[in-house]
Structure 1
């Protein structure tokens, strides 16, 4: 007979592990059987099953909706976090990464974009907001985007509320605690309103949803946090997610993962950089790093060379006491793209830009090419130029609602909310059934603390989406289907 672990047979857990790896991309080793059994019992109750094995039997034999998969994943991934977790990473941010970004942008747009992927209950993005307020005495003059995403609506709801207990503050600097929170009568602590407004919480599935996406706001990012998330994925899924991050970052952008996830970066195009005893990953050629960007190898964060693995030439990090890397099959050679749109879809934005500009030199007024160039520039972080080409697209075809929508999306990223709202209104005047415009207005209203208007726009979007074929791809959505966006809207409405 199969052995049981806490009442659930090993045979059932084995089938569950295979299902999670193959269908959802989550990886659980046999050593984590007790943890998995505990978590699946909690999930079974939510799904209406009193018996965990019966629930497992149902799971492995039933096609799950995206909503059900996300609900299951929320139970199987630990959301435990606290403020300023991982001192090395935050020290690197405070001493090097953010000061360099601030210096570079002070006379060039005063814009910073940060994404906390898998933000759980919000301690991480709020830590970033606290740090930025400390580093930017002229914060009000900056356009700061801190995007916080998760697949767990309950976690997002707590993050939006911004209320925490003592356990969340076990490693917070004293200055941060004193300046950023108000103690309530019930003993909990509430984050200050100015910091809450700096963070935008949003539902996002790292496996299913697209990046970069103007619609979701995860394009042209300067810094991505994704810590203690990749460790739950299979090697194949982790590689796909890391590839999305690479495309979503601007050139020179940073990806921060946890130390136990560093081994999952071996097949990526990132370069490892040691700063303040932490290993971070940069989207940039090593020969373009300025002198001093990488700490001296005389003081490596972890020893010795024979226990390291190469991420790229000359880029080594220690994997002592790390899980072994899972070998990945070699990537097949990619067929050369035939046009600018193919280059854009592959994330090869510099090449796409060159191809579009070369085409435009032949003359003529082509709104679609102008719009594609605008999207390409926006994904490279060149928002002012992107907005200029949006205007040219509108001038070329003033009856195309998609061009107004694109321009409105770029305006939101620049922080010009009233102008964005006006252009979205024009898009809806031209096409009242433009679901994405209703969705964008809902997000805009959320950012402006207009809860009633937000629900109205999201409800309008949902009503339109539910009347479409679920698998139909929405124009201007970067590949999002009507069914998928409907699930996102339902999660937003349900979470609030």
Structure 2
């Protein structure tokens, strides 16, 4: 018989966690994704115990802390916002900044208003605004005597503190050339300190994008460029609409907006036109007259306007691939040959062929990278594969197959804890991913965690029962829903026997390509 006291206690806990999530949404416009809810649940459970408070007491404490701009709300925001970033993240957009955007702004402003105002909104630990500063120093030294402002803001005060220090580990330099590192950083052991010439170009401030006003730039000027990458994914629909409207107002008439790859604004705003540069997209502010003309001429939302132009070669390493629309059919034909070689386990030949593809349609770029990662992992080139996985996840933070493949690589490298964490991420994105539960259950079993293993197998069976027609994913080679169901049944029976023998572990893990 269930304990009624326990049921009431759980209900109270659930109510107050929902209240806290609603409070964060209201005051910071950060929606509770599956991943942040998991983190929020862990953080709240830990803190109310550390502070020796009940859930109602902790909720009131948090609200009071917010009004006093206190430490607790900052701790909470630090916990639920992801600080994953690195220098020159998404090289294609910095290529666009260098070859398209800044040259046009210089041409427009030369001899007139010789100023450049750039806002990095949601700057995290500073890699993005410092990259912008390095771009200016490296490729536009002739305008360094202009009135240049690079303002970086974030809601996370701990990230801002680290940004101001300007000290980073090697992990922040994925794909950055040794030349750039040696020119702009000083190395001491495994730490890299940014030189003052770059640090002095950037100012950091706390700013909440959910607030009703925008950060002023001084003397009535507006922003020439706004970077707000991988931030909108946290916000709910109405907040995104409001934010884009205010970005439009805050930009100069010739202003540009850079967003993350997974952030398509055309469901929320007609105030920008999309510019397609190589394999990257960014946005230009529409004039009020153009917005009005569009609203008068169309009764429904228009398709994205895309400008395509030819540009010089990218000055950065690892430059983007050209992808004209006329080559889409050729690309599809080549891809069929590559996938056929892959299915025959002729990985070297598949790799040689895919390396010769120079034109990739922009809508296929992420999956193109994923195919390359699968080939690399089967060639045991794990360092290259891991680097490319990070690139995929920077474009699409919810790419479950990338997390899955990362977990498989970690298994092969005997990094069991890391593999478990990445299979969990797969399940955060897709709780019904049965094959991920199979691997996770096997890993728990391997490490002697029989109860979690049993739970994963059971949950997988329930998932298959709920969704018998669900695709099993690219790694389910040799599996069908029926075979997978029987596999889970056999493992549950075996696990029940294993639990009777203390310390017994099953070492068999099924690998998929």
If the TM-score is normalised by the length of the shorter chain, which range does it land in? 0.5 to 0.7
Contact 2:137 2:144 in 1 (8 A): no
Shift of 1:181: 0.4
The structure where helix makes up a greater share of residues is 2
The equivalent residue for 1:79 is 83
Shift of 1:143: 2.1
Partner SS, residue 237 of structure 1: helix
Pairing of 1:2-41 with structure 2 (within 5 A): 12-30=16-34, 32-40=36-44
Within 1, Cα distance between the matches of 2:167 and 2:34? 36
The equivalent residue for 1:135 is 139
Find the partner of 1:49 among 27, 51, 55. 51
1:301 and 2:362 correspond: yes
Greater C-alpha radius of gyration: 2
Pairing of 1:237-276 with structure 2 (within 5 A): 237-263=239-265, 266-276=268-278
Shift of 1:290: 11
Of 69-78 and 194-203, more deviation after overlay is shown by: 69-78
Contact 2:36 2:81 in 1 (8 A): no
Structure 2 segments unaligned to the other structure (5+ residues): 294-304, 311-322, 329-360, 366-394, 399-513
Contact 1:252 1:282 in 2 (8 A): yes
Find the partner of 2:196 among 193, 196, 200. 193
Q: Do the aligned partners of residues 182 and 40 (structure 1) sit closer, same or farther apart at CA in structure 2, a change above 3 Å counting?
A: same
Contact 2:120 2:129 in 1 (8 A): yes
Within 1, Cα distance between the matches of 2:201 and 2:224? 16
Pairing of 1:467-478 with structure 2 (within 5 A): none
Shift of 1:179: 1.2
Within 2, Cα distance between the matches of 1:150 and 1:92? 24
Pairing of 1:317-356 with structure 2 (within 5 A): none
1:182 and 2:192 correspond: no
Shift of 1:78: 1.5
Within 1, Cα distance between the matches of 2:250 and 2:84? 26
Partner SS, residue 260 of structure 1: coil
Contact 2:245 2:269 in 1 (8 A): no
Find the partner of 1:210 among 209, 213, 218. 213
Contact 2:36 2:80 in 1 (8 A): no
RMSD across aligned positions (CA): 4.0
1:93 and 2:154 correspond: no
Q: TM-score, normalised by structure 1?
A: 0.52
Q: Do the aligned partners of residues 140 and 52 (structure 1) sit closer, same or farther apart at CA in structure 2, a change above 3 Å counting?
A: farther
Aligned pairs, how many?
A: 303
Deviations 1:438-492 (A, max 9, x none): xxxxxxxxxxxxxxxxxxxxxxxxxxxxxxxxxxxxxxxxxxxxxxxxxxxxxxx
Shift of 1:209: 5.4
Shift of 1:94: 2.0
Contact 1:239 1:264 in 2 (8 A): no
Partner SS, residue 178 of structure 1: helix
1:115 and 2:176 correspond: no
1:146 and 2:150 correspond: yes
Q: Do the aligned partners of residues 218 and 90 (structure 1) sit closer, same or farther apart at CA in structure 2, a change above 3 Å counting?
A: farther
Within 1, Cα distance between the matches of 2:23 and 2:56? 15
Shift of 1:13: 3.9
Of 286-295 and 51-60, more deviation after overlay is shown by: 286-295
Shift of 1:267: 2.8
Within 2, Cα distance between the matches of 1:61 and 1:131? 42
Q: Do the aligned partners of residues 39 and 225 (structure 1) sit closer, same or farther apart at CA in structure 2, a change above 3 Å counting?
A: farther
Q: TM-score, normalised by structure 2?
A: 0.51
Find the partner of 2:230 among 199, 210, 228. 228
Q: Do the aligned partners of residues 42 and 108 (structure 1) sit closer, same or farther apart at CA in structure 2, a change above 3 Å counting?
A: farther
The equivalent residue for 2:167 is 163
Q: Do the aligned partners of residues 33 and 264 (structure 1) sit closer, same or farther apart at CA in structure 2, a change above 3 Å counting?
A: farther
Q: Do the aligned partners of residues 111 and 237 (structure 1) sit closer, same or farther apart at CA in structure 2, a change above 3 Å counting?
A: same
Structure 1 segments unaligned to the other structure (5+ residues): 305-319, 324-496
Within 2, Cα distance between the matches of 1:272 and 1:290? 5
